[in-house]
Structure 1
Amino acid sequence: MAPVKLGLVGIGKIARDQHLPSLSRSSDFDLVAAASRNAGVDGIANFASTEEMLEAMPEIAAVSLCMPPQARHAVAAEALAKGKHVMLEKPPGATLSEVEHLAGLAASHGVSLFASWHSREAPGVGPARDWLKGQRIRKVAVTWKEDVRLWHPGQDWIFEPGGLGVFDPGINALSIVTRILPFPIWLTGAELTFPENRQAPIAASLVFAGPGGEAVEAELDFRQTGPQTWDIVVETDGGTLTLSMGGAKLSIDGEEQAMAPEAEYDGLYARFAELISAGQSDVDPSPLRHVADAFLFGRRAVTEPFFFDPPAAL
C-alpha cells in the first residue's frame, strides 16, 4: 500500500522530539503538512490551523494531534467529521466525555481513532505483561518523579485546568500499570498537592485496590531534580519484577533482562497504520479514568507557589 498522507498538528516539544523523527523513519506515512499557530516544519506545507490545512490539502487522509489536551477535542472532531483518521497524543482529551464523543464520531464516519499511550510501547512493557500473566501479584509500587522545568520548560498550560499537572507524566505510569496487570484496579484513596498559585497538582499520592486484595500505590512528583525516577515494582509469589526508566529496563529478582532498543513512537505509528488498514479504532480511556477518579475522590493539599522562573527579588 502507498504511504498514508498525514498532517501533523501542534509543532511543539513533543512533536519535534518524538513525532517528527519517527515519521521520518516510517514507511507507512508520508508527512505532507503541519498546522501550528507558532511554528512550522521545513520541507512540507505549513498552515496556521487544521481547518486551513485540510481545506487546502484534501488528499490528507490522517492527522496526528500533538497540541495540549485542552484544545484537542474540537480539532479532532473536525478532522473525524471530514473523514480523516486521527491519532491522539496522550492524554486523549481533557475529559472522558470528550474521548467518548470522539470514539462515536470515528465509528459514525467510518474512520480510525487511535488514543495513543506511548509508554505502553516501551520495550519492557510487553515482556512484563507476559511474565505477570502466570504470577500471583501481591503489591505494586509506582514511583514517578521528574523535573517539570526540564520536561515542560515554561509550559504554563500544564498547570491550567485540563493540563493535568503532575498527572501529565503520571498518566504514563498508569498506562503501563493498566497494560501489565491481568486484573482491573480502582482508586481507594488519594492526596493531590497543589501549589497555591496553580490549578493543577504538582504531586500526588494514590492508592488502588484489585479484586484479590492486591495493593497498588503510586507516588508522583513534578519537583524532583537530578536523576529522574520512573519505576514500577511488582511483588509476586514468584519473584519481584521491576520496570525502570519508564519501562525501558526490566529486571526479575534483580536480574536485568535483555531488551530491544527504545522505539516508542515508531511503535505508535506502526499501530496507527495497522488500525487504518484494518478499519478499526483503539481507544482505551482507562488511564485517564484513574486520573479523573483521583480529582473526584482525592483530598486536596496546598503547598508553596510554583514558578518556572523564580520571581525577581523585591
Structure 2
Amino acid sequence: MAPIRIAIVGVGKIARDQHVPSIRGNRDFELVATASRHGSVDGIPSFPDIESLLGGVKDLDAVALCMPPGPRHAAAVKALAAGKHVLLEKPPGATVSELDDLIASAKAEKVSLFATWHSRHAAGVAKAKAWLASRTVRSLRVDWKEDVRKWHPGQAWIWEPGGFGVFDPGINALSIVTEILPMPIFLTSATLLFPKNRAQPIAADLVFADSAGADRVSATFDWRQTGPQTWDIRVVTDEGELLLQSGGAKLFIRGELVVDEGDVEYADIYRRFAELIAKRESDVDLRPLRHVADAFMVGRHDFTDPFED
C-alpha cells in the first residue's frame, strides 16, 4: 500500500522536534510538503500558507496542523473541505465550539479528524489506566511545574488571548487524568494567577469532584519552576498508590517501578493516525479542553508580578 502523503502546517519547535522525525520514522507516511510563514524542512517543498499548499500539492492525503490554536480552526476547515485527513496538535483549538464544528465537517466529508493528546501516549499511561479500572480511587494529585523560558522561549502568542498560558502544558496533565480515571470528574473551584502584564495565567490551582460530589482530584500548574521539572500524577486507591512521573514515561505501582521508557509519544500518535485513516474514523476527545474552559469560566483570577521572557 502506498504511504499516506502528509504535509505539516506550522513549522515551529514542536514540528521540528517531534512531528518531522515521527513521520519519517513511520513507513505508513511520507512527508511531502510544509506550509509555514517562518519555518521549513530541508529538502521538502514549502508553501507560505495552507491555501497554496492545498492548491500546489497533488495527491495530498493528510495534514498535521501544528500552528498555535488560534488560527487552527480556519486551517482545519479548509483542509477538511478539500477532503484531507487532519491531525490537530494539542490543544486542538481555541474553543470547544470550534471542535464541534470540525467534528461535524469531518463526518460530512468522510475523512479522519484526530485531536492528539500527546501525553496520553506516554509509556506508562495505558498500564496506569488498566490498573485503576478495577480499583477505588480515593484521591488524585497533579503537580505539573516547568520553566516557560525553557519550553516556550520567545513565544509571545502563548500569553495572548487564546494562547492558554500555563494551561498549554497543564492540559497535558488533564489529558492523562481524564484517560486513566475510571470515573468522570468536574471542576468545583480554581484559582488562576496572571502576571500583571499578561493576558494568560502563569500558574493555576484546580479542584475537581466526582459524580458522588467528593473533591477527590486536585492539580497545581506552575510555569515558574527552574531546575528539575515536575510532571507528576499521584493516585491513592483502596489497594495502594500509583505514581506517574516524567509526564507518564515512568509508572510506579505500590512503590515498584513498572514502566520506565523514553519518549514514545509522537511515534504512537502517528501509529494511531494511520489506523484512523485506514478506517476513515475520527478520534476527538474534548474533555481536557472542557476542563480548561471551565477553569477560565468559574475560576478566581488573581494577579502577580509582571513576567518578562
TM superposition score normalised by structure 2: 0.98
Q: In structure 2, how many angstroms separate the alpha carbons of the residues matched to 1:214 and 1:130?
A: 23
Q: In structure 2, how many angstroms separate the alpha carbons of the residues matched to 1:261 and 1:248?
A: 6
SS at match of 2:14: helix
Matches for 1:79-94 after TM superposition, within 5 Å: 79-94=79-94
> Which residue does 2:245 correspond to in 1?
244
> Which residue does 1:286 correspond to in 2?
287
How far is 1:24 from its partner?
1.2
Q: Once the two structures are superposed, what CA deviation does each residue of 1:85-129 show, in whole Å capped at 9, x if it has no partner?
A: 000000110000001101111001111000000000000000000
1:138 touches 1:214 (CA, 8 Å); kept in 2?
A: no
Q: In structure 2, how many angstroms separate the alpha carbons of the residues matched to 1:302 and 1:168?
A: 19
2:187 touches 2:207 (CA, 8 Å); kept in 1?
A: yes
Q: Once the two structures are superposed, what CA deviation does each residue of 1:63-99 show, in whole Å capped at 9, x if it has no partner?
A: 0000000110100100000100000000110000001
> Which residue does 2:278 correspond to in 1?
277
How far is 1:8 from its partner?
0.5
Q: Tell me, yes or no, if structure 1 residue 156 matches structure 2 residue 156.
A: yes
> Which residue does 1:21 correspond to in 2?
21
Q: In structure 2, how many angstroms separate the alpha carbons of the residues matched to 1:187 and 1:261?
A: 32
Q: Which amino acid aligns with 1:128?
A: A
> Which residue does 1:312 correspond to in 2?
none
SS at match of 2:259: coil
> Which residue does 2:221 correspond to in 1?
220
> Which residue does 2:43 correspond to in 1?
43
> Which residue does 2:199 correspond to in 1?
199
How far is 1:261 from its partner?
4.1
> Which residue does 1:105 correspond to in 2?
105
Matches for 1:92-131 after TM superposition, within 5 Å: 92-131=92-131
Q: In structure 1, how many angstroms separate the alpha carbons of the residues matched to 2:105 and 2:259?
A: 42
Q: In structure 2, how many angstroms separate the alpha carbons of the residues matched to 1:214 and 1:136?
A: 14
Q: Which runs of 5+ in 2 are unaligned?
A: none
> Which residue does 2:132 correspond to in 1?
132
Q: In structure 2, how many angstroms separate the alpha carbons of the residues matched to 1:192 and 1:273?
A: 38
> Which residue does 1:63 correspond to in 2?
63
How far is 1:211 from its partner?
1.9
Q: In structure 1, how many angstroms separate the alpha carbons of the residues matched to 2:170 and 2:262?
A: 23
Q: Tell me, yes or no, if structure 1 residue 73 matches structure 2 residue 78.
A: no
Q: In structure 1, how many angstroms separate the alpha carbons of the residues matched to 2:42 and 2:150?
A: 26
1:137 touches 1:235 (CA, 8 Å); kept in 2?
A: yes
Q: Which amino acid aligns with 2:26?
A: S
SS at match of 1:69: coil
1:137 touches 1:214 (CA, 8 Å); kept in 2?
A: no
2:250 touches 2:261 (CA, 8 Å); kept in 1?
A: no
SS at match of 2:233: strand
Q: In structure 1, how many angstroms separate the alpha carbons of the residues matched to 2:157 and 2:286?
A: 22
Cα RMSD, aligned residues only: 0.8
Q: In structure 2, how many angstroms separate the alpha carbons of the residues matched to 1:39 and 1:172?
A: 25
> Which residue does 1:298 correspond to in 2?
299
Q: Tell me, yes or no, if structure 1 residue 11 matches structure 2 residue 7.
A: no
Q: In structure 2, how many angstroms separate the alpha carbons of the residues matched to 1:225 and 1:156?
A: 20
Tell which deviates more after alignment, 204-213 or 118-127.
204-213
Q: In structure 2, how many angstroms separate the alpha carbons of the residues matched to 1:231 and 1:260?
A: 15
Q: In structure 2, how many angstroms separate the alpha carbons of the residues matched to 1:88 and 1:248?
A: 22
1:8 touches 1:65 (CA, 8 Å); kept in 2?
A: yes
2:124 touches 2:251 (CA, 8 Å); kept in 1?
A: yes
SS at match of 1:234: strand
Q: In structure 2, how many angstroms separate the alpha carbons of the residues matched to 1:34 and 1:264?
A: 22
Q: Which amino acid aligns with 1:140?
A: L
> Which residue does 2:182 correspond to in 1?
182
1:124 touches 1:248 (CA, 8 Å); kept in 2?
A: yes
Q: In structure 1, how many angstroms separate the alpha carbons of the residues matched to 2:234 and 2:210?
A: 16
> Which residue does 2:143 correspond to in 1?
143
Q: Which amino acid aligns with 2:37?
A: R
TM superposition score normalised by structure 1: 0.97
Q: Tell me, yes or no, if structure 1 residue 166 matches structure 2 residue 166.
A: yes
How far is 1:260 from its partner?
4.5
Q: In structure 2, how many angstroms separate the alpha carbons of the residues matched to 1:151 and 1:143?
A: 17
1:83 touches 1:109 (CA, 8 Å); kept in 2?
A: yes
SS at match of 2:308: coil
How far is 1:214 from its partner?
5.4
Q: Once the two structures are superposed, what CA deviation does each residue of 1:198-234 show, in whole Å capped at 9, x if it has no partner?
A: 0000000000001243510000000000000000000
How far is 1:259 from its partner?
3.9
2:249 touches 2:259 (CA, 8 Å); kept in 1?
A: no
